[in-house]
Chains A and B, each alone.
Chain A
Amino acid sequence: MNILKDVFAELFKMFVSDVRLTAAILGTVLAAAALIDLTRLPPLAGGAALLLGCLAVLVISVLREARRRR
């Protein structure tokens, strides 16, 4: 049972190593989906939002973690 617990904990950690980072990525995907499904913009606009959003999430997350650790 211990092994199973460790496996699930590891799998969870794989995708949710930082709750804020996970929330920010999911928020970006939801925003892109909303742009594609709920507006008249071409789907590529949602794709661009997804790419730019993920890049922004990465940079902000690195800067925030660096500030926190100093």
Chain B
Amino acid sequence: MLEWSTATPAIGAAFLASLVEVVEAFTIVLVVATLRGWKPAVLGTGAALATLAAVVVILGPVLDRVPLNILQLVIGVLLLLFGIGWLRKASLRAGGILPLHDEDAIFAKETAELTADIRRQQTSQDWIAGIAAYKAVLLEGLEVIFIVIAVGAGRGLLWPASLGALAACALVLVVGAVAHRPLSKVPENTLKFGVGVMLSAFGVFWAGEGLGVEWPGHDLALFAFAAVFLVAGLMSARMVRQPVIGVAQ
């Protein structure tokens, strides 16, 4: 029986984190399609998805053999490294220290780089473009797999978390196919902030459980952790934000 107090954060975190990753992969695939047509883009994407499927098939049975408390501790620590890293970057962006993520600017930069690559290389231009799509989908896809495993494996929620990730992929594909341009309207910086908060909360939760901590309120503790990480992230952004100095006339 699915416990919604546990499943909702897992599905939500997998969906939002995957949304961020898939939007980034989609931008590169779109660069390839724009420069060299859909054939290398689709072939590169398909090959990457096949590689990712192989990774899941190989990793899945291995995960079942790891004792639960060790799995929780390892995943918890990895989530803390990943989640706090994201939250830190998002806080620095919100505080104006780092520039905001701009999908249009990334599209332009990737287009220029791939164009230069294609001009420089002697091999087939479609091959280079296909490899670019393959690499983008593979790298972002590996992050999606990690997030799905991380938020789902500790409580047997791999399927619900996978559904969250698949829903994100489907949404980006549908919107991307309709819009046919980089999805710059997706509030990626806000999403990254939210995902950083959720992954950090999951990290503390799993690492604690792996160490033998019984959290008060059990799974509901996740919401409390998310709330304190949200406050800490917002507070950090506020502390580093420089006041706008008006120019005296």
CA distance in complex: A54, B208 (Å): 12
- B200 partner residues in chain A, CB cutoff 8 A: 54, 58
Within 8 Å of chain A (Cβ to Cβ): is B53?
Answer: no
Is there an interface contact between A59 and B236, defined as CB atoms closer than 8 Å? yes
* A1-54 interface (Cβ within 8 A of B): 3, 6-7, 10-11, 14-18, 21-22, 25-26, 29, 32-33, 36, 43-44, 46-47, 50-51, 54
Check B204–A51 contact: CB distance below 8 A.
yes
| Chain B residues with CB below 8 A from A6, complex form | 135, 139
Residue of B nearest to A55 (CB): B232
A50 to B97, CA, bound (A): 28
CB distance from B45 to the nearest CB of A (A): 15
Note all chain A residues with C-beta closer than 8 A to B88: 18, 21, 58, 61-62, 65
Q: How far is the CA of A3 from the CA of B240 in the complex (A)?
A: 38
Indicate if the CB atoms of A14 and B143 lie closer than 8 Å: yes
A-B pairs with beta carbons under 8 A, tally: 121
**A63–B78 CA distance with the chains assembled, in angstroms:** 23
Q: Is there an interface contact between B82 and A14, defined as CB atoms closer than 8 Å?
A: yes
Within 8 Å CB of B77, what residues of A? 25-26, 29
Taking a contact as CB atoms under 8 Å apart, the answer to whether B97 and A66 are in contact is yes
Q: Please choose the segment from B101-109, B116-124, B168-176, B209-217 that sits at the chain A interface, where 4 or more of its residues have CB less than 8 A away.
A: B209-217
B204 to A54, Cβ gap below 8 A?
yes
Instruction: State how many angstroms separate the Cβ of A25 from the closest Cβ of chain B.
Output: 5
Q: How far is the CB of B154 from chain A (nearest CB, A)?
A: 15
Q: A63-B240, A65-B92 are in contact. Are A50 and B232 (CB under 8 A)?
A: no
Residue positions of B touching A, CB distance < 8 A:
76-78, 80-82, 84-85, 87-89, 91-92, 95, 97-98, 131, 134-135, 138-139, 142-143, 146, 200, 203-204, 207-208, 211-216, 225, 228-229, 232-233, 235-237, 239-240
> Residues of A at under 8 Å CB distance from B?
3, 6-7, 10-11, 14-18, 21-22, 25-26, 29, 32-33, 36, 43-44, 46-47, 50-51, 54-55, 57-59, 61-63, 65-66, 69-70
